[in-house]
């Protein structure tokens, strides 16, 4: 009876045998079959692992026989002997499951060393120190991963002996001290296992193989599989590979290389190497490696071989490779190859180049730029070499990316003034409110001591592409003294700081920034992305300037145009305040009549930019008290301006005050109480559209969006009210106009009764910021006070305001989509919350079947790329690797 | 071919023919068949109505033939002729669908009157004024419901003529003016229909029948059916009944009676009558009716007949009847009988009496007391005769029922002092906070100017049975001047007001209250309720005194024991504040160690009352800033007491301040940051239980409840922490103890991931207050500012904080129940939000399949009755009527 095959020499397997040989084994087989010089070795199958468990965790005789047989073949191929004293074969032992998985056993290198073979190695390499160091590392790692002796016992011993010799760095260890360490290590092992460290190399190997098998069932691995729904019965393979040595001779060496430049993306070999050295030497930093092109002079044939092979590997793997190689006595070996990490710029260039070279198709090229890297391309940054050694003076949440330096100022007005004088400014506040808009427009960056990823500062800054860091907890502001205390240091207004909105780091002083120029390749990539986009990307913008920016970035419409910021201009804020302070409807309507032309002009300007693309305008949303002054000085000023008593303003403010404004009198609740506000806005939207239609001879269809709806009857009433007002306006202008009225779906209840709401809605637009707040009961303004606890303790996998919560909020969204479409199969559904510009959230929206995402202009490219990649991965899912 | 029968004389039908004859028709048939003297008449079937629609809204020849035939029979039976001038037959025409339904046509009385028959009527009744008044009413009502001429045109005409005559009341109209009015009415009709008012009585009848048929499809009726899922194809029946006249002679008369006293419930006829009069005369108040027993003297035979029949009717209908009767020339007729409205006390007595008499069974008796009436039995009230003419000075939300009078005081401390001096006090505040507990305990009633049905004042007052009105918008407080402005009037501290927490009315001055003594029958009813209760009722109480009260009311455990109020005692609040102000864990733990004995003693006291009944203790929930002082004086006091700087307290308060405290750092989030708080509480709960177990030799199983959970990993972590602490405590006390750890399900997310949470929960307890807040995005503290708009405009059918929202919040609850039970089929699930004591909400909980509701002690009886009735109605659903 033919026995089952449990071991495969590398050249016996192939790339498709992932289930049997694991990912690493299949990959090694692939390289071996391609004729690449991979050190000899073999893989023990996952089936062997599974049978090991069935066999009460014993290695069967048949498996042992096949291991011995394979090892013998390796000995023959390498002309070395395992445990032999002539030319000892050393091996590495690694796990390799079909699915990459943390928690599995680490690599054991140099297995086969013992008190005897170490001497031979010293002699062969002519480097006793290297041999001894390899041996002490082997004992340490074997004890850790196979014998499970706590790592720190060895670390303590090492530190102790280093201290005795007065050494600080590991590379100072000499032969004498290494011998002492090895002796010490062996003692530790003996204390634990009550026998000497294993000198029988076959015992070493057997134990290492069993340790790999066992690590399949260790707790971390089990939890990981549970979490990711990976079957526990897959098992892991074990890879046993002969070691090669770059320090055998002067015709030996070791190095790493990239098949293209990972910083610029240029098509040139890029790397470094050391003659007569092992990988460890490079890491230890004892000697300075040489640039790779030097190798073409020192060992031209080897270089040529290397060059030809790695270029073939690149084509074969269809991606830039990061390769580790070793030369042993003039013979080249490849120890590892993997896709190379690269900068945003390089990723972009390589993707386009490889498409142009015919190596990859367009879809694959699209997947080769990480969406998050897009931000690097669009925003200025600090030189990494400059900041890598700097200690940040504060760290907050990276609310809006990019790097900037500037002088600190504590209020919007001063920022606007100083910026007018040509200064670079950074606006520092506890938090921002709509009153700070002017300052946010003129500063280079915004820094707040409180607030989370969806606080006012974060949302608005992101919208205008302004750099922003929020929730810097170690910053204390003293508005009176005009000072900021960051950590222990006092900064006065006018002092310089530098901020990195991509990391949340704040630095002392002025650090220069580098501005990246958006390359043409980026535009090419975006064009490709559009070809594969199955979901629209719109923009969240409030004015014509940003609308133009959004168009430039390829927005297909405006998903959210907030109207509240429009009320904060110099004169109009007074009319707004007059409206709020009105005692009766007549006065209120008079004030609204004054606001009407402002609104109309704002809308007209936006329509002029967007033309016939959809512009979704959200009617007034924030509670009215946000528009009233908050300081005694401002109250005084307003009282004088409006010619009313300060007391009136204070009393009205007080009567509008709320315990929980987020859950208060805002959104469409305002229009239930004061219908005239929405009526004015509806008229302005419609007449603006009609005028622009007439001016440009186009056909704008306004999209009117009602916020914070909770019941069908509320919506029915408001829709009726708006329809009456709008139709009256259209008639009075003797015009024709189609328009849509839809809703923000942003309360849990709106999701729960979405069928009822769909009856009266032309579209749904998820406001996931508010929806997240209410679903969790997390106030976005207060969450930063305890979010650290939740994130650092992994109670939350991520900030739900930054990344959409699939399990909770997502369930509500899905429910609303299903119910809404059940009533209106073609209901247009999108998302306009901050999540619309975050990779994972965009993917979730795609999964939920939304028609579009809407995000701030600077995130449009990212969103487009995410969507295109989602489509691409779907198309590539039956891949040909 | 036998034709279909479209008309049924009353004695041809029976009670089971509801679908064919409608509810009213079947009921008339029932009375006729029981031999009751009902005026002759017949019913046109629902089938006729449906065929009318199929027949393009035409009355078929066959139907017309049957109507004529039936009418002829009625003429024979009554010896009257329809349209005749000898003895004219007048009829009433009414709709009567199988399902009672608003929007259907009203009654047309006196149909058959025209210019001729009115004269005969005047002559026969010897009362021209009555005849003319009947005719003018007939024209008016016929024009309204049949001809659809707007009612106010007639009202205007009536007012005009009354004004001409200088009349104010309708009963001042004399013959002359009535003739003028009739002429005027006929003119109005002619203006609209362009012909004279219909003199042909058969035309009148046909039109009235068609009007009934048509009203089945009027808009209001259609909407009602849509809303209640009633089929549109049922159709309505039409009842045509001969009119009888109590004003024919001095042996005629009219009256109303109750078969038992509706105020006291005593088994005696109760009613009044008028000789030679029609119902209208009683209503118009021209003459004073006589008490019913007078009839036994005036017309002893009629009285005897009346007495015997109505007692039979009572037994037949198995309930006290409210009967309208007419005597026409010594002959008794019943025009209507229906179940009598009655006071709480009467309802109770009648239910028990009728059971004892054998008329009804226990289940039916249980359904005869309205759950809402229970409150009337338990709380003091104002004499209705006293307050009915009083104008309230303010009206708020009726947060906790009962009536009280007392002197106004504006803070808790003064209330406590004055109450100590023996004064009756009413605590008036903007809103209450936990700091006001002392005052709430000592006052007779609490009045707040803000807040909703689940504000702090409302919840706490209800819990302690304290009378409370919240959200009185016309009340302004001036704490400095120690004054309250109610409407336009200023009240100083010490002034008297009276409040009715059952209606929300506030009255000037001191109105005496009546204390109802809870009758023994109430206890009987509650015992019966327990027999049929398929759901447990627990209490929300925080201390031993209230726990005893809850037990007395029949609570089967404590569903919610809040722990925060326990920290507000004189000394302990300082330790609590010390804990909050602590800079480090060590100081915090020291302060907590001081709080520990207080907590333990509180828990012990409760356990001593409740013994082995479940006591569910919620760990600390409110944000810490609630415990810090809010006024400069209190800050000063605390600083002195704790020997720290005021600045420290102010800074800490400021750092704890939140924009939206409801969505802030509270609930179990506190325990993620400061685990030591929950650890202390868990220890106190457990050691209290062990000590009481030892003292009483019983076996308490503590129920520990974690508030505001949002994710599985949060709960897993906290549960583990508590289990460790609890087990350590049990071990250190060398004891044995079972305990359960469960959660408040009060965020939408908790409902959405209930399966995940059930893994780590022994029970679920819905906190529907918070759940409602977050589902709607309504802050309970701010909702009252706009709730009026929503309720008065019917945008919300009711206050969702008072009555559970089935459509939205209910959907989340159902989802959580289903998911939770899918993981743990026997998961104990209850509700401890305020809804647990509201009739409709309790019914919903029953529908959702919860195991228990928990409410404030005074609402336990109500909840029990609701549950028993739900069970009873289920048992009675195949009823035998």
The pair of three-digit structure tokens given for residue A620, joined into one six-digit string: 């007034």
For B805, which residue in chain A has the nearest alpha carbon? A749
Task: Assess whether A751 carries a catalytic annotation.
Answer: no
Which residue, among A320, A291, A315, A321, has the nearest Cα to A303 in the 3D structure? Answer: A291
pLDDT bucket at A225, cuts 50 / 70 / 90: confident
pLDDT tens digits along B120-151: 999 988 889 889 988 998 999 899 889 989 88
User: What local confidence, expressed as pLDDT, does residue B877 receive?
Assistant: 59
pLDDT bucket at B881, cuts 50 / 70 / 90: very low
CB contact under 8 A, A747 and B781: no
For B746, which residue in chain A has the nearest alpha carbon? A777
What is the complex's ipTM, to 2 decimals? Answer: 0.76
Q: Which range, of A583-592, B214-223, B313-322, averages the lowest pLDDT?
A: B214-223
Please tell me which of A13-17, B9-13, B630-634 the model is most confident about, judged by mean pLDDT: B9-13
The pair of three-digit structure tokens given for residue A18, joined into one six-digit string: 């992932």
pLDDT tens digits along A631-671: 888 899 999 999 999 999 998 998 899 999 999 999 999 99
Residue B859 pLDDT greater than 60, yes or no: yes
Q: Which residues of B touch A785 (CB under 8 A)?
A: 658, 664-665
Helix, strand, coil share of chain B (percent; to 5): 50, 15, 35
User: What local confidence, expressed as pLDDT, does residue B668 receive?
Assistant: 97
Q: Ramachandran region of residue B100, left (φ > 0), alpha (ψ -120 to 50) or beta?
A: beta
CB contact under 8 A, A660 and B711: no
Instruction: Kindly give the pairing relationship between strand B615-618 and strand B558-562.
Output: parallel
Q: State which H helix or E strand residue A561 sits in.
A: strand A558-562
Q: Which residues of B touch A710 (CB under 8 A)?
A: 776-778, 808
Give CA separation, B612 vs A864, B615, B746, B855, in Å.
62, 8, 27, 19
Residue entry with tokens 């629902």 = B46
pTM assigned to the model: 0.77
pLDDT bucket at A878, cuts 50 / 70 / 90: very low
Residue B465 pLDDT greater than 80, yes or no: no
* pLDDT mean over B866-870: 91
Most A CBs within 10 Å: which of B663, B668, B785, as the mutation test of the A interface? B663
Which residue, among B551, B652, B529, has the nearest Cα to B611 in the 3D structure? Answer: B551
Helices (H), A166-249: 175-193, 201-215, 219-227
The answer to whether B811 contacts chain A (CB < 8 Å) is: yes
Q: State which H helix or E strand residue B41 sits in.
A: strand B41-44
Query: How close A482 gets to chain B, by Cα (Å)?
Result: 19
CB contact under 8 A, B660 and A782: yes
Query: Other C-beta atoms within 10 Å of B510: how many?
Result: 14
User: What local confidence, expressed as pLDDT, does residue A879 receive?
Assistant: 43
DSSP class of residue B605 equals H
Q: Which residues of B touch A746 (CB under 8 A)?
A: 777
Note which residues in 647-676 of chain B have CB less than 8 A from chain A: 658-665, 667, 669, 672-673
What percent of chain B is modeled with pLDDT above 70?
97
* pLDDT mean over A799-827: 96
Q: What angle (nearest 5°) sits at the alpha carbon of residue A195, between those of residues A190 and A197?
A: 70
The answer to whether B791 contacts chain A (CB < 8 Å) is: no
Query: How close A805 gets to chain B, by Cα (Å)?
Result: 10
* pLDDT mean over A585-611: 95
User: What local confidence, expressed as pLDDT, does residue B344 receive?
Assistant: 83
User: What local confidence, expressed as pLDDT, does residue A881 receive?
Assistant: 33
CB contact under 8 A, B779 and A748: no
Q: Which is more confident, A462 or B6? A: B6
Q: Which range, of A178-187, B47-56, B434-443, B675-684, averages the lowest pLDDT?
A: B434-443
User: What local confidence, expressed as pLDDT, does residue A614 receive?
Assistant: 98
Q: What value does the mean pLDDT of chain A take?
A: 90
Instruction: Name the residues of B annotated as catalytic.
Output: 456, 832
| Contact by Cβ (8 Å): B509, B498 | yes
Most A CBs within 10 Å: which of B630, B654, B660, B720, as the mutation test of the A interface? B660
Of B711, B753, B786, the CB nearest to A796: B711
pLDDT tens digits along A752-783: 999 999 999 999 999 999 999 999 999 988 89
User: What local confidence, expressed as pLDDT, does residue B271 receive?
Assistant: 87
Note which residues in 698-737 of chain A have CB less than 8 A from chain B: 708, 710-711, 713-714, 717
CB contact under 8 A, A795 and B770: no
pLDDT bucket at A452, cuts 50 / 70 / 90: confident
Q: Give the contacts of A321 (CB within 8 A, at least 6 positions apart).
A: A258, A259, A310, A313, A314, A337, A338, A339, A340
User: What local confidence, expressed as pLDDT, does residue B238 receive?
Assistant: 96
For B658, which residue in chain A has the nearest alpha carbon? A782
Cβ contacts below 8 Å, chain A against chain B, sum to: 168
Give CA separation, B756 vs A213, B276, B349, B723, in Å.
31, 76, 50, 19
What percent of chain A is modeled with pLDDT above 70?
97
Q: Which residues of B touch A661 (CB under 8 A)?
A: 659-660, 782
Of A781, A795, A805, the CB nearest to B713: A795
Cα–Cα distance for residue pair A117/B531, rounded to 1 Å: 87
* pLDDT mean over A54-63: 93
Q: Which is more confident, B464 or B189? A: B189
Q: Which is more confident, A204 or B384? A: A204
Residue B618 pLDDT greater than 70, yes or no: yes
Indicate the angle between helix axes A860-876 and A839-848, nearest 10 degrees: 60
Residue A66 pLDDT greater than 50, yes or no: yes
Please tell me which of A254-263, A583-592, B205-214, B864-873 the model is most confident about, judged by mean pLDDT: B205-214
* pLDDT mean over B526-535: 90
Of B659, B713, B796, the CB nearest to A779: B659
Q: Which residues of A touch B795 (CB under 8 A)?
A: 672, 711, 713-714, 717
* pLDDT mean over A842-871: 93
Most B CBs within 10 Å: which of A672, A749, A811, as the mutation test of the B interface? A749
The answer to whether B753 contacts chain A (CB < 8 Å) is: yes
pLDDT tens digits along B88-104: 999 999 998 888 776 67
Cα–Cα distance for residue pair B558/B544, rounded to 1 Å: 11
Note which residues in 186-205 of chain A have CB less than 8 A from chain B: none
pLDDT bucket at B180, cuts 50 / 70 / 90: very high
Cα–Cα distance for residue pair B769/B774, rounded to 1 Å: 9
CB contact under 8 A, A717 and B793: yes
Instruction: Kindly give the pairing relationship between strand B41-44 and strand A91-96.
Output: unpaired
* pLDDT mean over B177-202: 94
Cα–Cα distance for residue pair A423/A407, rounded to 1 Å: 8
Query: How close B596 gets to chain A, by Cα (Å)?
Result: 25
Query: How close B716 gets to chain A, by Cα (Å)?
Result: 9
What spatial distance separates the first Cα and last Cα of chain A, rounded to whole Å? 34
pLDDT tens digits along B544-556: 999 999 999 999 9
Residue A583 pLDDT greater than 50, yes or no: yes
Query: How close A768 gets to chain B, by Cα (Å)?
Result: 13
User: What local confidence, expressed as pLDDT, does residue B880 receive?
Assistant: 37
Residue B456 pLDDT greater than 90, yes or no: no
pLDDT tens digits along A536-571: 999 999 999 999 999 999 999 999 999 988 888 778
* pLDDT mean over A358-386: 86
User: What local confidence, expressed as pLDDT, does residue A179 receive?
Assistant: 96
């Amino acid at each position: 009876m033919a026995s089952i095959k449990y071991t495969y020499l590398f050249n016996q397997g192939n790339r498709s045998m992932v289930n049997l040989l694991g990912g690493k084994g299949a990959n090694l087989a692939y390289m071996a079959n391609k004729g690449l010089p991979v050190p000899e070795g073999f893989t023990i199958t996952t089936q062997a692992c599974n049978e090991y468990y069935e066999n009460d965790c014993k290695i069967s005789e048949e498996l042992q026989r096949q291991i011995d047989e394979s090892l013998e073949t390796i000995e023959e191929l390498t002309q070395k002997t395992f445990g032999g004293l002539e030319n000892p074969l050393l091996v590495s032992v690694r796990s390799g499951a079909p699915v990459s998985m943390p928690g599995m056993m680490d690599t054991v290198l140099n297995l086969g060393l013992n008190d005897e073979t170490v001497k031979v190695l010293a002699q062969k390499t002519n480097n006793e120190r290297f041999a001894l160091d390899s041996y002490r590392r082997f004992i340490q790692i074997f004890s850790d991963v196979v014998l499970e002796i706590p790592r720190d016992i060895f670390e303590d011993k090492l530190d102790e002996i280093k201290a005795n010799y007065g050494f600080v760095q590991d590379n100072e260890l000499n032969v004498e001290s290494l011998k002492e360490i090895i002796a010490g290590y062996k003692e530790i092992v003996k204390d634990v296992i009550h026998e000497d460290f294993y000198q029988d190399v076959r015992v070493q190997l057997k134990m290492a193989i069993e340790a790999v098998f066992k690590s399949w069932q260790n707790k971390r691995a089990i939890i990981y599989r549970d979490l990711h729904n990976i079957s526990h019965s897959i098992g892991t393979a074990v890879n046993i590979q002969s070691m090669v040595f770059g320090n055998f001779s002067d015709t030996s060496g070791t190095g790493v290389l990239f098949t293209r430049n990972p910083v610029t993306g240029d098509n040139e070999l890029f790397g470094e190497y050391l003659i007569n050295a092992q990988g460890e030497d490079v890491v230890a930093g004892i000697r300075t490696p040489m640039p790779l092109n030097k190798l073409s002079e020192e060992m031209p044939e080897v270089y040529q071989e290397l060059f030809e092979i790695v270029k073939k590997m690149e084509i074969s793997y269809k991606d830039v490779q990061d390769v580790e190689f070793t030369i042993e006595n003039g013979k080249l070996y490849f120890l590892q190859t993997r896709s190379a990490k690269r900068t945003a710029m390089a990723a972009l260039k390589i993707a386009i180049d490889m498409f142009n070279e015919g190596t990859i198709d367009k879809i694959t090229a699209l997947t080769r730029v990480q969406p998050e890297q897009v931000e690097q391309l669009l925003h200025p940054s600090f030189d990494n070499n400059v900041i890598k050694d700097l200690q940040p003076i504060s760290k907050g949440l990276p609310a809006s990316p990019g790097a900037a330096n500037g002088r600190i100022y504590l209020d919007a007005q001063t920022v606007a003034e100083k910026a007018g004088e040509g200064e670079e400014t950074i606006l520092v506040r506890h938090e921002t409110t709509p009153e700070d808009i002017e300052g946010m427009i003129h500063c280079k960056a915004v820094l707040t001591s409180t607030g989370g990823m969806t606080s006012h500062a974060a949302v608005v800054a992101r919208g205008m592409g302004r750099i922003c860091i929020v929730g810097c907890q170690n910053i204390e502001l003293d508005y009176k003294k005009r000072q900021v205390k960051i950590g222990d240091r006092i900064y006065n207004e006018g002092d310089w700081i530098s901020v990195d909105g991509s990391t949340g780091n704040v630095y002392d002083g002025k650090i220069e920034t580098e501005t990246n120029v958006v390359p043409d390749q980026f535009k090419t990539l975006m064009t490709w992305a559009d070809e594969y986009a199955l979901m629209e990307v719109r923009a969240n913008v409030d004015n014509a300037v940003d609308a133009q920016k959004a168009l430039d970035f390829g927005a297909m419409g405006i998903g959210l145009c907030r109207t509240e910021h429009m009320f904060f201009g110099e004169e109009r804020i007074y009319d707004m305040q007059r409206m709020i302070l009105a005692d009766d409807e007549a006065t209120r309507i008079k004030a609204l009549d004054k606001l009407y032309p402002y609104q109309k002009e704002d809308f007209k300007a936006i329509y002029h930019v967007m033309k016939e693309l959809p512009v979704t305008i959200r009617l007034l949303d924030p509670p009215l008290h946000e528009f009233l002054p908050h300081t005694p000085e401002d109250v005084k000023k307003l009282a004088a301006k409006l010619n009313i008593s300060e007391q009136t303003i204070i009393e009205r403010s007080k009567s509008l005050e709320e315990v929980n404004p987020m859950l208060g009198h805002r959104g469409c609740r305002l229009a239930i109480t004061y219908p005239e506000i929405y009526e004015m806005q509806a008229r302005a939207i419609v007449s603006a559209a009609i005028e622009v239609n007439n001016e440009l001879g186009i056909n704008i269809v306004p999209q009117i969006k009602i916020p914070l709806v909770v019941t069908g009857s509320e919506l029915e009433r408001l829709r009726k009210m708006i329809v009456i007002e709008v139709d009256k306006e259209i008639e009075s202008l003797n015009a024709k106009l189609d328009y849509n009225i839809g809703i923000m779906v942003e309360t849990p209840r709106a999701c729960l009764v979405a069928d009822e709401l769909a009856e009266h809605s032309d579209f749904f637009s998820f406001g996931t910021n508010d929806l997240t707040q209410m679903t969790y009961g997390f106030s976005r303004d207060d969450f930063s006070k305890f979010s650290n606890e939740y994130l650092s303790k992994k109670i939350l996998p991520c900030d739900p305001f930054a990344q959409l919560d699939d399990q909770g909020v997502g369930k509500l969204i899905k429910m609303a989509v299903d119910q809404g479409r059940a009533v209106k199969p073609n209901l247009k559904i999108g998302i306009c919350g901050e999540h619309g510009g975050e990779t994972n959230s965009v993917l979730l929206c795609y999964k939920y079947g939304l028609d579009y995402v809407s995000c701030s202009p600077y995130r449009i490219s990212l969103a487009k790329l995410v969507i295109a990649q989602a489509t691409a991965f779907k198309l590539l899912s039956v891949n040909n690797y």
